[in-house]
Structure 1
Amino acid sequence: MPQTLAPPTTDPAPALKSAGRPAPDPTLRALAEAHGLKVSGARPSLPAYLGQLWQRRYFITSFATARVVAQYTTAKLGQIWQVLTPLLNAAVYYLIFGVLLDTKKSVPDYIPFLVTGVFIFTFTQNSVLSGTRAISGNLGLVRALHFPRACLPISICLAQLQQLLYSMSALVVILLCFGQVPSWSWLLAFPALALQFLFNTGMSLVMARLGSRTPDLAQLMPFIMRTWMYASGVMFSISRILVGKHLPQIVVVLLNGNPAAVYIDLMRFALIDSFTHKQLPPHVWAFAAGWALLAGVAGFVYFWKAEERYGRG
C-alpha cells in the first residue's frame, strides 16, 4: 500500500524553550477557549478593574468599619483611644517644642495650630504605614478569595478617614476652648480632607505594592514618616522659619510644596483665625489638587499593573 506522508509541521516547542517559556498544550488551550475559560487571577483591563471595585464598594466600606471597630476591642477604653492617641502625641510635642524649645512664642494660637497639624499628619502617616502591610498582612484573605486587591489599601484609607472624623470632635472642642469661633471658612475643611484622602489612597496603593514584595519596608517606613513629619511644619510654622534664612530656592519650593504641609496648612487656614492666607504658599489649592490627582491616578495604575502577582510566591 502506498504510504501517505503527513505534511511537515513546525514545532514551536524548541523556540519557546529557547525563550525560557514552556510550550503550551494546543489541545488544552483550544478546549479552554471553546468553553470560555480564562487564566485564574489574570489582570483585567483598567476599566474592568474599576467596575469590579465599584461592585465591591459595600465590601470596602464594611471592611473599613470592621477594622475601626476591631482595632481597640481589647483595650478597656475602647474607641476612646481614637481620640486619645493623637491628643497624647500633641501633648508630648507641646511639652518639647512649645515649652522647652519655646516655639509657641512665634506662633499665635499655638495649641490649635499644633493639634490641627498632629491630627492631619496622623491621617497621612497611618494611611501610608497601614498601606505598607495591606497585602502582606492579609495574605490569607488574598489567597483564599478572588477580589480586586485594591480593595484592601482603599479600605485601609477609608478606615483612617473614619478615625480622623472621630478625632475631629476633640479638635473642634479644643478650637472652641481657645477662642476659635465657627465661620464659613470651616467649610473649606471638607474639600481639603477630600483631596488629602485621595492623596493618601494613592500613597497607600503604592506602598501596598512595594510592601507586598519587600516586607522589610514596613520596618523602615516609621523612620521615613518621622522625618517627613519634621519637614511638614507640624510643630512649627514653615513660613516663619524661612524668614531671614538664605536657603536655596529649591529647598524653599520643596518645603512649601511638601504635600503633607500643604494639607496641614489648608486645614489651619480653614479652622484657625490667626492663620491667614499670607502664611499659605502660592497656589496652595493647585498644589493640593495636583498632589491628589498625581498620587491617586499614578498610585492606582501602579498597583493595578501588579494585580496578578499579589499573594503568589
Structure 2
Amino acid sequence: MTSTPPRAESKGLRTQWRRAWSTRKAGASALSAPLRRELQTRYGDLSHLRRVGTRPPLREYFTELFDRRHFIWAGARGEALTRYSNERLGMAWYILRPLLDAAFYWVIFGVILNISQGMENYTAFILIGVFMFQISSRAITGGVSLVKNSKAMIRAFAFPRASLGISMVLRDLMSSAPAILIMIVLIVAIPPHEAPNVAWSLFPIILALQVAMSLGFVFFFGWLGALMPDLAQAMSFVSRLLMYGSAVIFPIERFVDHPAILAIIQLNPIYVALDMYRMTLISGAVPPFENWLQLAAWAIGGLVVGFTLFWWNEERYGRE
C-alpha cells in the first residue's frame, strides 16, 4: 500500500485551501466538510477565520473600531497638525481662513448689499454662520472623496474602513476648535457685545449633535462617492447651494414671500443647527423643543443610516 508523500499531501491541501477561499463566500464556511475536518485536525478551530476584505458582523466591526481607537486618534491628530506644515503661517490658517471668509461676506452682503439692515448684530450672525457651517460642509465634500483618497491604505492594510470617516471628522473638529474659540471671543468683543449667559452652556450640546450629524454625512457621502466617483466634480456646486440654503449669510426672513423655499430651508438640518447656535449665543435664549428634536433626529438617524450603508458596502472599497 503506497502512501502519499508529505510534500504532495501538503501541496494538495494548499491547492484546496486556495480554491475554497477564492470563492465569494467568507471564512471557513466556504470550505467543504472533509477539507474543514482535515484542516481543523492540523490547525485547530477555523470558525473565527474569514476571507480578507470581507464585511464582518456589526458586533465584531464595532469591536475592531474600538481596538483601533488609538490609531484613529493618532491619524486625526497627525493630519490636523501637519495640514499647513508647509505654509509660513502654519496652523494660524485654521483661524485666518474662516475669518477672511466671514470678512468677505460681511463686506459684500452686510455693507454693499445692505442685507444687515434691521438686524441688531449682523457681525455675530455671519461669524456663527461661516465658522459653524464649515464643520458640516467639509464632512459632505470630504466624504465624497474619502474612499478614493484612501485607496492605497485600504489596499495595503486590513482594518474597518469606517475608521477613516471617524478620523476625518475628529481631524476637522480639532482644526475647528481654535477658530470656534476665536469666534466666541469676537462675539463678545465686537459691538454690540453679546454677554455670556446660562444659555451659552447649551453650545457644546448643539456642537456634539452637529458633529454626530456630520459623521453621518461622511459615511453616507463616502458610500455614495464610492458608487459614483464623478459626484466629486459636483461638490463645489453642492457646497455653495448648501451655504445659501442654510442661511449662513442672510436671515431666512428674506424668503417670507416664497413659502416653498422657506419650508425647504427650515427642513435643512444645517440651518437648524446654525439657528440654534444663534439663539443661544446672540439672543441668549434656549432653542425650542422642536429644534432639539429635529437636530437629534438628523444626528441619530443620519448616523445610523450612513454608517449602515457604509458598512454594508465595505467589501468593494479596495477594488478597482
Within 5 A, what are the aligned runs for 1:138-153? 138-153=150-165
- Whichever residue aligns with residue 102 of structure 1, its letter is N
Within 5 A, what are the aligned runs for 1:228-239? 228-238=242-252
- When residues 290 and 32 of structure 1 are mapped into structure 2, their CA distance, relative to the original with a 3 A threshold, is farther
Partners of 1:256 and 1:281 within 8 A in 2 = no
What is aligned with 1:241? 254
Q: Deviations over 1:191-234 (max 9, x none)?
A: 10000001000110111122223332222111111101101100
Which of residues 291, 295, 306 in structure 1 aligns to 2:298?
291
What is aligned with 1:195? 209
Alpha-carbon distance, 1:242 to partner: 3.6
Question: Match of 2:229, SS?
Answer: coil
Which of residues 66, 88, 105 in structure 2 aligns to 1:54?
66
Partners of 1:56 and 1:25 in 2: CA distance? 30
Which of residues 221, 225, 235 in structure 2 aligns to 1:221?
235
Partners of 2:38 and 2:175 in 1: CA distance? 51
Q: Which has the higher helix share?
A: 2
- Whichever residue aligns with residue 295 of structure 2, its letter is A
1:38 equivalenced with 2:45 (yes/no): no
- When residues 31 and 92 of structure 1 are mapped into structure 2, their CA distance, relative to the original with a 3 A threshold, is farther
Partners of 2:39 and 2:220 in 1: CA distance? 34
Q: Deviations over 1:62-105 (max 9, x none)?
A: 11111111110001000000001111111111111111110111
- When residues 31 and 162 of structure 1 are mapped into structure 2, their CA distance, relative to the original with a 3 A threshold, is farther
Partners of 1:52 and 1:25 in 2: CA distance? 25
Partners of 2:124 and 2:227 in 1: CA distance? 40
Alpha-carbon distance, 1:276 to partner: 5.3
Alpha-carbon distance, 1:252 to partner: 3.4
1:300 equivalenced with 2:307 (yes/no): yes
Compute the TM-score of the two structures, normalised by the length of structure 2: 0.83
What is aligned with 1:163? 175
Matched residues, number: 286
Partners of 1:94 and 1:111 within 8 A in 2 = yes
RMSD of aligned C-alpha atoms?
A: 2.2
1:254 equivalenced with 2:268 (yes/no): no
What is aligned with 2:279? 269
Partners of 1:134 and 1:33 in 2: CA distance? 40
1:212 equivalenced with 2:230 (yes/no): no
- When residues 129 and 246 of structure 1 are mapped into structure 2, their CA distance, relative to the original with a 3 A threshold, is closer
1:309 equivalenced with 2:310 (yes/no): no
5+ residue gaps, structure 1, are 1-20
Partners of 2:181 and 2:83 in 1: CA distance? 19
Partners of 2:199 and 2:285 within 8 A in 1 = no
Partners of 1:198 and 1:296 within 8 A in 2 = yes
5+ residue gaps, structure 2, are 1-23
- When residues 47 and 102 of structure 1 are mapped into structure 2, their CA distance, relative to the original with a 3 A threshold, is same
- Whichever residue aligns with residue 144 of structure 1, its letter is A
What is aligned with 1:18? none
Partners of 2:99 and 2:303 in 1: CA distance? 29
Partners of 2:116 and 2:122 within 8 A in 1 = yes
Q: Deviations over 1:241-272 (max 9, x none)?
A: 244x1524xx4332212111001111111211
Question: Match of 1:174, SS?
Answer: helix
Partners of 1:128 and 1:205 in 2: CA distance? 9
Partners of 2:296 and 2:185 in 1: CA distance? 29
- When residues 100 and 58 of structure 1 are mapped into structure 2, their CA distance, relative to the original with a 3 A threshold, is same
Question: Match of 1:38, SS?
Answer: coil
Partners of 1:177 and 1:294 in 2: CA distance? 38
Question: Match of 2:151, SS?
Answer: helix
Question: Match of 1:146, SS?
Answer: coil
Within 5 A, what are the aligned runs for 1:101-112? 101-112=113-124
Partners of 1:31 and 1:193 in 2: CA distance? 56
